[in-house]
Each structure stands twice: as C-alpha cells, then as structure tokens.
Amino acid sequence: MATLKLFNTLGRRQEEFRPIRENEVGIYTCGPTVYDYAHIGNLRTYIFEDILRRVLEYHGYKVKHVMNITDVGHLTSDADEGEDKIEASARRSGKSAWELAEMYTRAFFRDTERLNILRPHVVCKATDHIADQIALIRKLEEKGYTYKTSDGIYFDVSKFPTYGELVGQSLEEKKAGARVEVNPEKRNPADFALWKFSPKGAKRQMEWDSPWGVGFPGWHIECSAMSTKYLGQPFDMHCGGVDHISTHHPNEIAQSEAAEGVKMANFWLHGEFMTVEGRRMGKSEGNAYLLEDLIKRGYEPLAFRYLCLNTHYRVQLNFTWQALEGAQTALERLREHVRNARAVGGDPAQGKIPPLVRERFLEAINDDLNIPQALGVTWDFVRAHQNPSDKLATLFDFDRVFGLKLSEVHSEPQGELPAEVRELVAQREAARKAKNFKEADALRAKIAKLGYEVIDTPQGPKLRRR
C-alpha cells in the first residue's frame, strides 16, 4: 500500500510515516480537563485524532492509543498561575472535585461515543498516577533540572538546550517575546511547575504527600509520566490541538527527554481550531456550543462528525448552523445511496472496489489525511457508479476511515424520523452492544412514547409507527 505522509510539527514538514516497531503504532493524545463539558471545538480535535487512528488501522497497523484524563493540576492560566480548574469548578457547583471529575469524564465519553470516536485502548487519570509523576520529578531532580521556590518545584528550561524546538523558536527568542513575568521567583519565564505546594493554611480537596511537601502535580508532568509508562520511549506519535504547540508540548518534551535521555516521540500532529465568527471557540470566550445544543436543535452527532471530515485538520473550521445543516443533508444523501443500493438487492460481500477509485482514495488519505478529498472521491464514485454491490462494498470499506456508520443504514427511510427518535435508537443500540439491557429497555419505552416501535432484526433495529 502506498505510504502515508503526515505533517510533523517537529520540523514543520511532511514526512513519510515509519513506525518504530514493524506493524505497530503507539499514539498518545492529550485528553480532556474534566472541569466542565467538552465543547464541539474540543470534540473536533478528538475527531481528527480518531481519523488518524482509523487511517493507521486501515493501513493494517496495530494501534495502541493512550489518552489521559486531566483531573487535577490544570490551572486557570497555562503559566502555572491561578486556581486549579477542577477545584474552582467544584466550589461553584457545590459538588466535590472528585464527583465533578467523574461526572464530566462520563459526559465526555458519552459525547465521543455518539460521535463514533473509537475508545482509546488505555484511558489514564492523572490522579491514579501520582506515584509515577513523583518518581519522574525525582529523576529530574537527581539530574539537576529542578529548583524550589516558595510555591513549588520548577523545571529550569535553561538546562535543556533544545527547549522550544517544537515551536521552532530558540529559548532566546522565546525570552524576548515573553510577557511581563508574573512569578518573580522563576529563573526563566518559560520555567514551569512540576509540583505545586498546597496553599499555606488552606486544605485542597485533591492533595498528596511528596518528598517536597503536600501538594499536587503540575499540569504537564502527567502526560510525560503516563505516555512513557504505557508506550515506552520513544513512541510513535503525539497529538493535540494547536494551542499545545507553544507550552504544554514543549514542556512535556523537556521533562521526558531530560529524564530519559532519548527522544519522546517521533511524530507530533496538531489539529487546528474550531472558530465562531473567526474567533477561537472556547469556554472562556463565551462562544462554545455543546454537542447537546446541536442535538436539541435536531442535528445528529454524526452530522457534526461529517462537518469535521469536510475540512482538513490543519485548517481552521468556522462553525455555522448553515454549514451543519449542509453536513446533515450530505450525510442523509450518502445514506440514501446505501438504502437504494440495498433496495435493489446490492450485497457488499459480492461487490468489488474499483481499483482506480481505491487508488484515488488512498492517495487522498495518505496525503496528510486529506479527508475532504477522500469524501470527494467517494461522491464522484457514488454518483457515477451503477453496480449496487460494488457501491456498498466500496462505501463500507471507505467508511472504516470516515466512521459514519454507513453499514448500519438499512432500507427504511430513517431520514423521515425525527432527530430525537434517531438519537434514542442510536443510544439504545449502544446500550444493547454494551449488554446494558436495562437501559436499552428504558430507551425503548422512551421511543414508544414518541410514537415508534423498535423491532430488532438480524440486520439491526427497524422502526414502525405505532
């Protein structure tokens, strides 16, 4: 199969992907900070990472995907100042920090499941890995990379000469561009906290003993400790949103490489922002939508997924309701092709993928995950091609990358169903697959209230008006 080329932020150029171990790929993706619901901008990043994983699996690699859950230590400012986001959110809500983290983690996976994002093989919480983080800080301390201030243990970036390589900026350049220093005890503006002490006289909900005093880990150390623990070092790929290029990822690299003396990861991939009217979507910007908001307005989560597929991951995606409407329509039309092909007796097992179409599809996905182009290839094909079995075989094969659940589309026109009903049916299917029959039955009752009866068939659920 033709080779996969990816844009590597480290070095800023497209490179042929080669795994460290033959046929296996280790990926680490920075996960959510669970102090609030993920907004659809965050979810765009997870969809990009899911596409990356699916393309690697399409190429036959055995992927090991690790994602962290930041449930402690992420302060309101990325420069180690301000409050812990989770403790602050807990105070506002009246729930404990632990309860809150648990609740938002569950909400996060509910969203990613609805978007058909594959679950990482390892999901690791920062609070479950405090000992690993302390061990890593000790290692850095023994090697002379750390110093102590009145509020914590810091990493001295001047001891790590390649700091900022990822940003394409030398330490001198970074210093020159730095804002007025907020913490006068830091030796260099780019130094960052490895361990923060609990504030004097106050008890935090989340705090631990350490060789340096009671406190909590800095935000970056969890990713260094857990990526190496589960993937070894170096590992193949590390991903996140573009906002991680300037601080979080350089700090991870400094910690991991200073401690182990070898490269952290070979490939660094970053997804661009989702914007609203040209401004980055963010909780603090007040312009963030939740997946739930989209569902309430009658759109399917998979329509949002389609919307994301239609813009290359390194290009900003400006969210509008009109664009979402267009994505919902396009998805419905693609399903229509599946339904029609089935209705005239198409059988994917009997179909073939035309070699030229497959070649064009591969060319697109191998060109730094050019999914918009791969969708274009797919549309050209379904419009021009007549054989229903070939159509189904090709669509279902390509959908291993798109993840639009096209093979779950059956002959009745689901398009006429209210979005709410479709969503409930999808949730019930998920519950059934998870063998959670109690929930599946509760959902069946909800669907019945909306006037539909679910009939389970070997080809999947069918609906009848009651």
Task: List residues binding Zn ion (CB under 5 A).
Answer: 30, 223
Query: Binds 32, which of Zn ion, ligand AMP, none (CB < 5 to 8 A, cut-off by type)?
Result: ligand AMP
Closer CB to ligand AMP, 232 or 282, in the complex: 282
Rounded (5°) CA angle 200-222-164: 100
Query: Binds 250, which of Zn ion, ligand AMP, none (CB < 5 to 8 A, cut-off by type)?
Result: none
The single-letter DSSP state of residue 169 is -
Closer CB to ligand AMP, 244 or 312, in the complex: 244
List C-alpha distances in Å: 183 to 41, 79, 220, 291, 387: 31, 9, 18, 38, 68
Contact set with ligand AMP (CB under 6 A): 30, 32-33, 41-42, 44-45, 240-241, 243-244, 273-274, 280-282
Query: Binds 45, which of Zn ion, ligand AMP, none (CB < 5 to 8 A, cut-off by type)?
Result: ligand AMP
Query: Binds 217, which of Zn ion, ligand AMP, none (CB < 5 to 8 A, cut-off by type)?
Result: none
Query: Binds 273, which of Zn ion, ligand AMP, none (CB < 5 to 8 A, cut-off by type)?
Result: ligand AMP
Nearest approach, Cβ of residue 370 and Zn ion (Å): 26
- Return the SS3 of 398: helix
Q: How far apart are CA 30 and CA 236, in angstroms?
A: 14
Closer CB to ligand AMP, 273 or 402, in the complex: 273
Query: Binds 223, which of Zn ion, ligand AMP, none (CB < 5 to 8 A, cut-off by type)?
Result: Zn ion
Closer CB to ligand AMP, 164 or 240, in the complex: 240
- Sign, CA dihedral 224-227-229-231, equals negative
Closer CB to Zn ion, 66 or 223, in the complex: 223
DSSP string, 210-238: -TT-SEEE-TTHHHHHHHHHHH-SSEEEE
Could you tell me which residues come within 8 angstroms of residue 87 by beta carbon, excluding any fewer than 6 positions away?
97, 204, 205, 206
Q: How far apart are CA 310 and CA 376, in angstroms?
A: 9
Closer CB to ligand AMP, 186 or 244, in the complex: 244
Residue nearest to ligand AMP (CB): 241
> Is-contact 33 70, C-beta < 8 A?
yes
Nearest approach, Cβ of residue 280 and ligand AMP (Å): 5
